[in-house]
Structure 1
Amino acid sequence: MGIFAFVLLSSSLLPFFFVLSYAADSIKKSESLSESITLVSKHESYALGFFRPGNSSNRYLGIWYNNIPVRTVVWVANRLNPINDSSGMLMVNSSGSLVLLSQNRTVAWSANSTKQALNPIVQLLDSGNLVLREENEEDPENYLWQSFDYPSDTWLPGMKLGWDLRTGLERRLTAWKSPDDPSPGELSVGIELHNYPEIVMNKGTEKFFRIGPWNGLSLSGLPDLLKENPVYTYDFVINSDEVYFIYNLIKNSVISRALLNETSSLYERYIWVSEDKKWSLYFSMPKDKCEGYNLCGPYGNCIIGDSPICQCVEGFKHKSPDTWNPDEWSKGCVRITQLSCKDKDKIGFAKFVGLKMPDTTYSWVNGSMNLNECRVKCLNNCSCTAYANSNITDGGSGCAMWFGDLIDIRQVTANGRDAYMQNVYIRMPASEEVNHKEEKDKQKMKVIVIVVVAIAVVFGVLLIPYCISKRANFRAEKMENNVMIDQNIEGQSEDMEVPFFTLATIVIATNNFSSYNKLGEGGFGLVYKGTLIDGKEIAVKRLSRKSGQGLSEFKNEVILIAKLQHRNLVRLLGYCIEGDEKMLIYEYMPNGSLDSFIFDETKAKVLGWSMRFNIICGIARGLLYLHEDSRLRIIHRDLKASNILLDSKMNPKISDFGMARIFGGDQIEGNTNRVVGTYGYMAPEYAIDGLFSVKSDVFSFGILLLEIISGKKNRGSFHLDNTQNLVGHAWKLWQEDRPLELIDTCLKGSVIQSEILRCLHISFLCLQQHHNDRPNMSCVVMMLHGESSLPKPKELGFFVGKKSTSSSENQSSSTNEITITMLEAR
């Protein structure tokens, strides 16, 4: 079938320059594809044509999605040899080969077909695969050449990632150098061929991330990744002809792709969300520091959550115990007891559960041996340091053995799916031949029993009056909160006014609350990333059963956010109350919280002054809306850097309204016997006397301003002499006319001096000791965008050092007996 019509269409609004046409899905030997024509697959899923990436003037032949409005290229032919004019032409030459010609009929690219075609036809399939085949071939999948064998940066459903052992062909993903340049970058991913093949991501020639070998059920480094999900299925095939990894979509209506991103150094999976008309990130790898290749060195076990994260496998000790720091981690660990090959009776193997299989470069595999035969063979070889089942299906089979030091180990979890975990047996002195997981569990249980009994004996008598007192306080607090809610919302506490999500829906969306989906942890529980069946990304705040946030506070947060609509407030999508579970479902913020940027030396460099100023103004506008422009007057009471979330464009959104309070239209302040919030952000009148008002939030905003400007936390000691916090240090520099010394060092070169000094001045006005002296947020917003002179700040609140702290301890106690709840970032 030939070309029957074409229409030229271009738009400067699109990220790529494309030439589109109405076309067939194939060309024959006598036909060609020029700059003004595209091929479109049979069901119009994909298109093939010429395009210009980003701001580049070069032109390339590529394949892109034809059925979505965002032009997304998935394959490029001439990555290494762009065409610099509009002379490009794709054709099948006289010898039956597929070639791309540029100016003067020079070959810019050609398909590496090993067979000559008699009646060739080039066809674009609905899978996104461009194929060359004989026109009358009875077997429709007998291709002479296919683009799926030569992937670019995108992995499509049905595309094999791996090796054809018969021809030596490797199918490997390679990232674009940049959005303007599709030539191969440093980042690539493929299957490393040796006795125990595994998927490896490389940066240049160096290993960057190793997923771990296939164990029959999953990849050993990511046992939780491949469990059942509503989007796709995976399969790993290894035989004498091929070794490859492949995935397929469960529903044909879903559009999904995997991408290697050179900019972020990540493998990313996206799903197209038709409602939002955008690509939504489903997951990415590597996810944490432990996934970096061989971070902890030989026999080092990387454990996220431990400090330091690099620990030695039991039976080993740090090679450099006096300098065990991040710079020394790669030196790894050495045996505590050296082994000798002469006396096998003194040699054994310790069983370790939940470890990512070591690097398999120096490994040996036999698929027919059982585990006992594997043990004997490893024991009889002095160079064998560990063994395991190579396949864990049906109870386990096959033998995998390692030789030399064991590297790139980490602790992994399968979130209850223990059948996906692979045991590894490490060579040890016979006296240490134990199951370390079971032994640990026994020791932990003994400690728990002893502690529980001791607590019961020592404090049992005190528990009864404590519980009575606690219950009385809880009832009083509940009455106070209920009165506030009833007065201001008039019975709508039961009518949440937002969609209800079932627990089953949330479980599927978060992969059963997978640790890989965990976004953060705070005083009220965990936050998970989730993806709904339609591809929409969500953030799920799952309240801990031990959380201080009860049902009334939960409903308070739902009711508040349901009524609040502002671009600088996080949007609540729904809630879930089922059994003991209480969850809030928010819009997902891909860039996380503000504190993860400004307090991180590496990520802080991303936030130049212009971006930080936009964030400051956005927070101010959000607070102004809460205080004055919303239907309800809201006092947040826990404004801090970790409660400011950043969307994909780094726009700030205020979150976490669990401790917010509602005021009537003419009410300006309140009093509480239960002070809640975060130390370091509280206004003095609130922390000391329990008085809160809109000016309490203004004080917290002043602290945030200082932290954003300086990149330092206010909480705890700031100055080297350990006598001042951030507020005290900033005020001292201001009075000594040295304010620029406070500015984050990574801002040098991007700072507008007048603007940053104005922000610093505003922060001091917000931090004044007496709340009546502080401006309201409407004034703050005007001051941020104005150029008029600002009033001189008076005495600041919380300007204390060592001496003042000690003297305050001798003051008489307040008439109000209060508790300051110390909350960490949520």
Structure 2
Amino acid sequence: MKGTTKKSLERLLFLCSFVLSSIRTSTTLDTVTPSQPISDGQTIVSPGESFELGFFSPGSSRNRYLGIWYKKISTGTVVWVANREAPLFDHLGVLKVTAQGNLVLLNSTKGIVWSSNTSRAAENIPDARLLESGNLVVEDGNDDGPDKYLWQSFDYPCDTLLPGMKLGRNLASGFDWFLSSWKSTDDPAHGDFTFRIDLHGVPQLVLKKGSATQFRAGSWNGIRWTGAQAMVRNPVYTYEFVSNETYVYYKYELLNSSVFSRMVLNASGVSQRFTWIDRSHSWVLYYVVIVDQCDNYAFCGAYASCNINKSPVCSCLQGFEPKSPRDWSFLDWTDGCARRTLLDCDKGDGFLKHAGVKLPDTTYASVNKSIGLEKCGELCSNNCSCTAYANSDVRGGGSGCILWFSALIDIREFSDGGQDLYIRVAASELGNIGAERSSNDKKLLGIIFGSVIFIAMLAIGLILYIRKKKAKTKNSLEKDCNDGDENEVMELPIFDMKTIIKATENFSIDKKLGEGGFGAVYKGNLNEGQEIAVKRLSQDSGQGLKEFKNEVILIAKLQHRNLVKLLGCCVERDERLLIYEYMPNKSLDYFIFDESGRKELDWHNRINIINGIARGLLYLHQDSRLRIIHRDLKASNVLLDSKMNPKISDFGLARMFGGDETEANTKKVVGTYGYMSPEYAIDGLFSVKSDVFSFGVLVLEIVSGRKNRGFNHPDHQHNLLGHAWRLWMEERPLELIDDILGESCALSEVLRCIHVALLCVQQRPDDRPSMSTVVLMFGSDTMLPQPKQPGFFTERNVVEAESSASKNDSSTKNEITISLLEPR
């Protein structure tokens, strides 16, 4: 009897369990209605099971929040949070829909913690459901009209922009759509950063910290934001920008609905786009908004432009000069530039054309879409307060008009893309134009006469100066080079200028070997037949005597077969020269980036070069008397001798560390983009791991025969690091190998080189191996750890160039070395 009773109870419990489970499943997959709320532990799933709504605790927090996350993705990444500022402190939260159509979140005492505050009451029985897009909507029963949604979460973005979401404003209601960062990974409350379209003046996309602008993508020009370079066709998503009397917004849609992609503004203020890769079960960084110095808002100040391909990166616009020349000489460009000649509207100010630029901040600008460029110029010319003008739309040869009425800030020069900008300058800055033409003719004779007298006097003075200077030249050279700390006196031969001029045939163009960030290099022949390489410092390079001495002192103290040998120096008046041993095969970039040169580098030579560079870096980091960080390791700074042995050169940017120092920080970032580590390029933090990152980039370039910066691929927009990472994760690393190598390479060696290189370019410095570990990795067959995602995964990709216009609306779809600082 007891056995029968026990079995009956078990069957009853099983039946109850089955019924409860069925009810729970129904709740999980169904909608929320006034009669059917959901509680903590229950969820709503979108029809295709891409997204899920429920309660969660972020990171290490114990607080509970109502949110939406990816269901199909194992990481369960959260994309939206309801009660950001009002967490629940237990697991007793309940979400329900009121009869009026309001979504309300209740705590354990039935108090309202959060409400959707729906502006319009339901006329039917409302229900809430989660769409496949990730949009949580409240519907007015069976109403299928255009206003069937009483409320939707897409109107209230958090830190994530999903496909179909908008950034912008509803002009009719004043409602804003913008991203707001979390406070931290454990706290989804509103953080310090926002990413939005600023409607002051001409609408533009901006990233702000509080009220301070950090980054500005610029205004929309019909194809892209003006702060974006010309891009290849995007295979993942399309863009749309709408600007009319009712709306101003930007959104994107996926070309393939099976792909997951999201844009997120993280707690540190970094805006990034990620794409989910099924093979690796991870989010892969597709692009990051701020890539280099020039992306920082107003980096060069007013009336200046930033060009990452130049050194220094900042320069005044034509007709302007540094506002603070002293600060400018110390690479502090904050104050920007000022007009060299004040404007005088009555004397006929003119306009200078600047091509291929990011248009300046449009906060104090106005737009007229109905006129062309010529009329735009007339309007600006007739208004003495107008400082510049440009087309607002670049499609079809250009149309529309933007007028600026304040200082021109945040201009960037592009090598590809950008727009034409016409900047107002004084008539005297334009040369022979307008009213100045006749006055210049009258002054011409006077100028010629005065010039003849001046040149004659200058020649007489120069002759006297040379005679006086000859006797002091030798002592002056030694004093300049040796002036300073007695412990840093250079025990190197001092060459006189006459010897160098003779050796290089007066710096003949035929003797020129190449040109770097700080000057040209010439081949020379001394009287005794010795071949030399002479590095002639450019006078406008920004490198002073101390930096010059830094390079000389460092190289003089270093002796290694994989470091270039310094033979001496020459300092005479404004000339600063370094004399090196001559490398007959020039630099590595002449071979690996040249179609014919690559054929001369078989795998034996390439692996020898890789190992030689590794040994040279190891010596700098560990085995020399000093610990030295090179900070500018790249293909053009690796020279090759007659036997193709590599020698690291160019120590002008190197930093010497004391015995206990492991890392340092600087506000003046120097080096070459494409080779610089992320922590150094963005935060100015450098260590031996910065050189390790550069070495990893260089190895991938040697293996592939392709440059990291400027790398193009038809299937994606990653740089060489991203391409290599993608091939590695898809188990196709052999596709990275240079086709020219053919069968000359040992596949096991090549794969190990790729593996080690990916370990060297990992995002976090702590994850990268030291150079001593790298050398051991190359010299053994031990198992290597799996690399993590590299830093600087992609080239600069703020937006892509896809566009089409709506009829009624303005609607559209769509090797650099930088500035030097004084070594510390």
Q: What is the TM-score normalised by the length of structure 2?
A: 0.57
**1:105 is matched with which residue: 104, 110, 135?**
110
Q: Which residue of 1 aligns with 2:296?
A: 292
Check the 8 A contact 1:478/1:552 in 2, yes or no: no
The equivalent of 2:186 in structure 1 is 180
Cross-structure match for 2:310: 306
- Asked if 2 retains the 8 angstrom alpha-carbon contact of 1:87 and 1:102, the reply is yes
Q: Residues of 1 paired with 2:738 and 2:719: CA distance?
A: 27
8 Å CA contact 1:356–1:410 kept in 2: the answer is: yes
**Partner in structure 2 of residue 728 of structure 1:** none
How far, CA to CA, are the matches of 1:92 and 1:193 in structure 2?
Answer: 35
**Displacement of 1:61:** 0.2
Contact map agreement 1:367 1:390 (CA 8 A) in 2:
yes
Q: For residue 358 of structure 2, give the secondary structure of its aligned residue in structure 1.
A: coil
- Are positions 1:398 and 2:400 aligned together? yes
99 and 588 in structure 1: CA distance in 2 versus 1, 3 angstrom threshold: farther
- 1:552 deviation in Å? 9.9
Tell me the amino acid that sits aligned with residue 212 of structure 2: E
Within 5 Å, give how 1:274-293 maps onto structure 2. 274-293=278-297
Q: Decide which of 28, 32, 37 is 1:27's aligned counterpart.
A: 32
1:411 equivalent in structure 2: 413
The equivalent residue for 2:96 is 91
Which segments of 5 or more consecutive residues in structure 1 lack a partner in the other structure? 9-18, 436-450, 487-514, 543-550, 573-584, 595-610, 632-643, 651-715, 721-826
- In the superposition, relative to structure 1, how do residues 619 and 432 fare at CA in structure 2: closer, same or farther (>3 Å)? closer
State the distance in 2 between where 1:558 and 1:333 align.
Answer: 56
1:200 and 2:206 equivalent?
yes
Matches within 5 A, 1:720-731: none
Q: Highest relative contact order (Cα 8 Å, sep 6+), 1 or 2?
A: 2
In structure 2, do the counterparts of structure 1 residues 482 and 151 end up closer, same or farther at CA, with 3 Å as the change threshold?
A: closer
Secondary structure at the aligned position of 2:95 is classed as strand
SS in 1 for 2:139: strand
1:458 to partner: Cα distance = 11
Q: Is 1:77 matched up with 2:82?
A: yes
In structure 1, the residue matched to 2:763 is 591
- Looking at structure 1, the residues matched to 754 and 235 of structure 2 have their Cα atoms a distance apart, in angstroms, of 27
How far 1:539 moved relative to its partner? 2.0
C-alpha separation in 1, matches of 2:396 and 2:600: 57
Aligned to 1:539: 721
Aligned residues of 1:537 and 1:588 also touching (Cα < 8 A):
no
**Number of aligned positions between the proteins:** 528
Give 2:271's aligned amino acid: Y
Residue 29 of structure 2 aligns to a residue in which SS?
A: coil
Q: CA deviation at 1:649?
A: 9.3
Displacement of 1:28 after TM fit? 1.9
1:331 paired to 2:483: no
- SS of aligned partner of 2:297: coil
- Cα deviation, 1:618-652, whole Å, max 9, x if unaligned, reads 65555334324379xxxxxxxxxxxx9984499xx
The structure-2 alpha-carbon separation of the partners of 1:181 and 1:340, relative to structure 1 and needing over 3 Å to count, comes to same
Q: Does 2:426 correspond to 1:429?
A: yes
Q: Deviations over 1:231-279 (max 9, x none)?
A: 111111100000001001111111100000123x310000000000000
Residues 566-581 of structure 1 aligned to structure 2 (within 5 Å): 570-571=754-755
Distance 1:223 1:104 in 2: 55
| CA–CA separation in structure 1 for the residues paired with 2:258 and 2:227 | 30
User: Contact 1:355–1:410 (CA<8 Å) still a contact in 2?
Assistant: yes
1:571 aligned counterpart, secondary structure = helix
Do 2:708 and 2:720's aligned partners in 1 also have CA atoms closer than 8 Å? no
Residue 756 of structure 2 is aligned to residue 623 of structure 1:
no
Q: d(CA) in 2 for partners of 1:184 and 1:622? A: 43
Give the counterpart letter for 1:428 in structure 2. Answer: V
1:249-398 aligned at under 5 Å gives the runs 249-263=254-268, 265-325=269-329, 328-343=332-347, 346-398=348-400
Per-residue CA deviations over 1:46-84 (Å, capped at 9, x if unaligned) read: 000000111101000000001111110000000000000
Partner Cα distance (2:601, 2:283) in 1: 46
Cα distance in 1, alignment partners of residues 368 and 822 from structure 2: 59
In the alignment, which residue of structure 2 is the partner of 1:231? 236
* Residue in 2 that maps onto 1:677: none
Cα deviation, 1:472-512, whole Å, max 9, x if unaligned, reads xx99x9999789999xxxxxxxxxxxxxxxxxxxxxxxxxx
- Superposed CA RMSD in Å reads 4.4
Q: Which residue of 2 aligns with 1:169?
A: 175
Matched-pair contact (CA < 8 Å) for 1:212–1:221: yes
Structure 2 CA distance for partners of 1:62 and 1:485, relative to 1, 3 Å = closer
Partner AA of 2:353 in structure 1: K
Distance 1:122 1:50 in 2: 16
Aligned to 1:126: 132
Q: Structure 1 residue 561: deviation in Å?
A: 5.8
Distance 2:49 2:120 in 1: 29
Are 2:341 and 2:429, in contact at CA under 8 Å, matched by a contact in 1?
no
Structure 2 matches for 1:590-739, cutoff 5 A? 590-591=762-763, 611=766, 620-629=772-781, 647-648=788-789
Residues 1:85 and 1:557: Cα distance change in structure 2 (over 3 Å)? farther
* Deviation, structure 1 residue 139: 2.9
Shift of 1:306: 2.6
Match of 2:745 among 524, 538, 559: 559
Q: Which amino acid aligns with 2:295?
A: E
C-alpha deviation, 1:217, in angstroms: 1.0
Q: Secondary structure at the match of 1:526?
A: coil
For 1:234 and 1:484, the matched residues in 2 are separated by: 46
- Do the aligned partners of residues 251 and 340 (structure 1) sit closer, same or farther apart at CA in structure 2, a change above 3 Å counting? same
Specify whether residues 307 and 94 from structure 1 end up closer, same or farther in structure 2 by C-alpha distance, changes over 3 A only. Answer: same
Q: Distance in 1 between matches of 2:738 and 2:38?
A: 66
Provide Cα deviations, 1:388-434, integer angstroms capped at 9, x if missing partner. 111111111111100121111111233xxx5xx32110001335449
Q: Distance in 2 between matches of 1:409 and 1:535?
A: 24
DSSP-derived class of the 2:334 partner: helix
Q: Distance in 2 between matches of 1:203 and 1:328?
A: 22
Separation in structure 2 between the aligned mates of residue 327 and residue 535 of structure 1, nearest angstrom: 32
Give the superposition deviation at 1:323.
2.6
> Structure 1 residues 7, 331: closer, same or farther in 2, change over 3 A?
farther
Describe the shift of the 1:383–1:51 C-alpha distance in structure 2 as closer, same or farther (beyond 3 A).
same
Return the offset for 1:526: 2.2
* Equivalent position SS for 1:397: coil
Name the aligned partner's letter for residue 168 of structure 2. G
What is the deviation of 1:87?
A: 1.4
CA contact (8 A) 1:526 1:541 kept: no
Letter paired with 2:288: S
CA contact (8 A) 1:351 1:434 kept: no
Amino acid at match of 1:571: H
The residue that corresponds to 1:788 in the other structure is: none
Q: CA deviation at 1:33?
A: 1.1
Within 2, Cα distance between the matches of 1:34 and 1:174? 27
Residues 332 and 647 (structure 1 numbering): CA distance in 2 closer, same or farther, change over 3 Å?
A: same
Checking the alignment, whether the CA contact within 8 Å between 1:7 and 1:22 is kept in structure 2 is no
- Once residues 552 and 191 of structure 1 are traced to their aligned partners in structure 2, the CA distance between those partners, rounded to angstroms, is 44
Q: Deviation digits for residues 4-49 of structure 1, max 9, x if unmatched?
A: 98869xxxxxxxxxx9997224222221011121000111110000
Letter in 2 for 1:114: S
Q: Residue deviations 1:436-471, cap 9 Å, x none?
A: xxxxxxxxxxxxxxx9x9746999xx99xx9xx989
Corresponding residue for residue 62 of structure 2: 57
Q: Describe the shift of the 1:457–1:255 C-alpha distance in structure 2 as closer, same or farther (beyond 3 A).
A: closer
With over 3 angstroms needed to count, the CA separation of the structure-2 counterparts of 1:587 and 1:237, relative to structure 1, is farther
Sequence identity percentage: 39
- For 1:425, give the aligned amino acid: Y
CA drift of 1:385 comes to: 0.2
Which amino acid is 2:372 matched to?
A: N
Q: Which amino acid aligns with 1:388?
A: A
CA distance in 2 between partners of 1:541 and 1:533 (Å) = 10
Aligned counterparts of 1:480 and 1:138: Cα–Cα separation in 2: 68
Q: For the Cα contact (< 8 Å) 1:150–1:171, is it kept in 2?
A: yes
Do 2:387 and 2:423's aligned partners in 1 also have CA atoms closer than 8 Å?
A: yes
Residues in 2 aligned to 1:108 and 1:626: alpha-carbon distance in whole angstroms:
59
Paired residue type of 1:310: C
